[in-house]
């Protein structure tokens, strides 16, 4: 089995294993150096290709698998247990994948620390998590953005503040769980990995769900011009949508299986007020659906995990 991760990012650098580049799911290879988003394949297109490539039709299954394997040009069997798939496609071929990734990172400890800092958080506190200085962090981000690993997202109302995310979901999984535990994994000992992943498994796909939902809203709301988040030292607003008529929609997510209720909307309204964001309407995204009182509420757009099926078509 040959697993390909990075070759959709690079056209001029050849694979050190076979020197024969192959593209992600037969999509065109980029040809100019090490591109970053938006020149890289958009996440929604990655998701669609991933679902088609692996014949996945259930949105929940698609999200869980894409958050881990998104970017691997390999056939993922959705009928197998998740832990079995991770072992087969990531842990067993660890040395191959490690060789491909370090071809671009140069095994630079600073780069790996910052990439792990990004992977284990929401991208806003990567330097603190990595315990590196601002200058070191900026240097690492510039190098890893140039190499195609990272992209940035500007804060609503304050574009000088940015958070970091990975261009491929697989990169995030690798630097969250695999790279930090390389000693045991490289020797075939997966016990520590299994323990850590079991502790964080239920939350891991949340960030990918939010990213896909943001892009889905940008595509599906005709009035939407941009979708961002807002944050400062004390507040975080997950969704701020700027519309063509200069109105603003504010939104939030609920990741649990419980339905969103009117109290969740009230909390969002209070959050927008505290953030000094004038909301002309609201967007609620919930995996578990909504209470009947929300379904009839004016000026509220409702979306569930099932809406991601539109991205799979």
Residues 144, 249 within the same domain: no
pLDDT number for residue 26:
38
My answer on whether 169 and 229 are in the same domain is no
Which band of pLDDT confidence, cut at 50, 70 and 90, is reported for residue 193?
A: very high
Q: What is the band of 39 on the pLDDT scale with cuts at 50, 70, 90?
A: very low
Quick one: 191 and 227 in the same domain?
no
Q: Is residue 216 part of a domain?
A: no
Domain stops at, among 142, 175, 204 = 204
Q: How many CB atoms lie within 10 A of CB 118?
A: 29
Q: Is 79 helix (H, G, I), strand (E, B) or coil?
A: coil
Predicted local confidence at residue 40, as pLDDT: 63
Q: Which of 152, 174, 204 is the last residue of a domain?
A: 204
Q: Which domain holds residue 79?
A: 1-204
104 and 143 belong to one structural domain: yes
Q: Are residues 225 and 199 in the same domain?
A: no
Q: Assess if residue 212 is contained within a domain.
A: no
Answer yes or no: do 190 and 266 share one domain.
no
CA angle 144, 150, 154 (to 5 degrees): 125
Task: Check pLDDT > 50 for residue 11.
Answer: no
Same domain, 167 and 260: no
Euclidean distance between CA atoms 76 and 99, whole angstroms: 21
pLDDT above 70 for 182: yes
Q: What is the CATH number of the domain that holds 298?
A: 3.40.1350
Q: What is the pTM for the complete model shown?
A: 0.85
In terms of pLDDT, which residue wins out, 1 or 267? Answer: 267
pLDDT at 7 over 80: no
Is the pLDDT score of 198 beyond 80?
A: yes
Domain co-membership, 190 together with 50: yes
Do 177 and 271 fall into the same domain? no
How far, CA to CA in Å, does 12 sit from each of 105, 166, 302?
A: 17, 21, 44
pLDDT number for residue 290? 93
Q: Which of 285, 284, 210, 287 is nearest to 256 (CA)?
A: 287
Does 84 lie in the same domain as 3?
yes
Residues 6+ apart with CB under 8 A from 189: none
Residues 81 and 165 in one domain: yes
Q: Is the peptide bond before 44 cis (omega within 30 degrees of 0)?
A: no
The reply to whether 213 falls in a domain is: no
**Domain-located, residue 146:** yes
Count of structural domains, the chain: 2
In a domain, 123, yes or no: yes
pLDDT in tens, 63-114: 999 999 998 878 899 999 999 999 999 999 999 899 888 888 999 999 999 9
Q: At what angle do helices 43-53 and 206-220 cross, to 10 degrees?
A: 110
When pLDDT is averaged across residues 247-272 and rounded to a whole number, the result is 94
- DSSP character for 6? S
In a domain, 215, yes or no: no
Tokens of 19: 């020197």
Whether residue 28 has pLDDT greater than 80: no
Verify that 182 and 235 share a domain, yes or no. no
Q: What's the chain's length in residues?
A: 313
Please, what sign has the CA dihedral across residues 65, 66, 67, 71?
Answer: positive
Last residue of a domain, one of 204, 235, 265: 204
Task: Summarize pLDDT for 138-170 with one digit per residue, the tens.
Answer: 999 999 998 889 999 999 988 888 999 999 999
Highest mean pLDDT among 1-5, 24-28, 217-221: 217-221
CA 12 – CA 148 distance, rounded (Å):
13
């Amino acid at each position: 089995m040959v697993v390909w991760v990075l070759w959709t990012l690079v056209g001029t650098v050849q694979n050190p294993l076979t020197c024969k580049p192959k593209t992600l799911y037969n999509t065109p290879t980029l040809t100019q150096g090490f591109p970053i988003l938006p020149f890289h394949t958009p996440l929604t297109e990655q998701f669609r290709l991933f679902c088609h490539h692996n014949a996945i039709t259930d949105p929940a299954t698609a999200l869980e698998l894409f958050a881990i394997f998104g970017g691997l040009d390999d056939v993922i069997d959705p009928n197998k247990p998740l832990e079995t798939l991770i072992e087969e496609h990531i842990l067993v071929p660890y040395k191959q994948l490690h060789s491909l990734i370090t071809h671009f990172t140069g095994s630079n400890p600073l780069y790996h620390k910052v990439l792990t800092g990004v992977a284990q958080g929401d991208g806003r506190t990567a330097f603190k998590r990595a315990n590196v200085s601002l200058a070191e962090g900026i240097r690492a981000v510039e190098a890893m953005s140039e190499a195609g690993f990272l992209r940035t997202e500007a804060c609503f109302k304050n574009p000088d503040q940015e958070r970091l995310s990975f261009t491929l979901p697989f990169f995030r999984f690798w630097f969250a769980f695999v790279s930090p535990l390389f000693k045991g994994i490289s020797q075939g000992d997966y016990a520590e990995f299994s323990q850590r992943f079991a502790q964080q498994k239920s939350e891991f796909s949340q960030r990918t769900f939010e990213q896909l939902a943001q892009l889905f809203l940008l595509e599906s709301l005709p009035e939407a011009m941009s979708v961002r988040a807002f944050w400062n030292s004390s507040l975080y607003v997950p969704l701020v949508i700027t519309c063509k008529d200069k109105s603003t929609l504010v939104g939030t997510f609920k990741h649990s299986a419980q339905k969103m209720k009117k109290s969740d909307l009230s909390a969002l309204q209070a959050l927008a007020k505290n953030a000094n964001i004038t909301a002309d309407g609201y967007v609620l995204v919930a995996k578990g659906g909504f209470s009947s009182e929300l379904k009839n509420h004016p000026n509220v757009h409702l979306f569930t995990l099932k809406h991601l099926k539109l991205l799979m078509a």
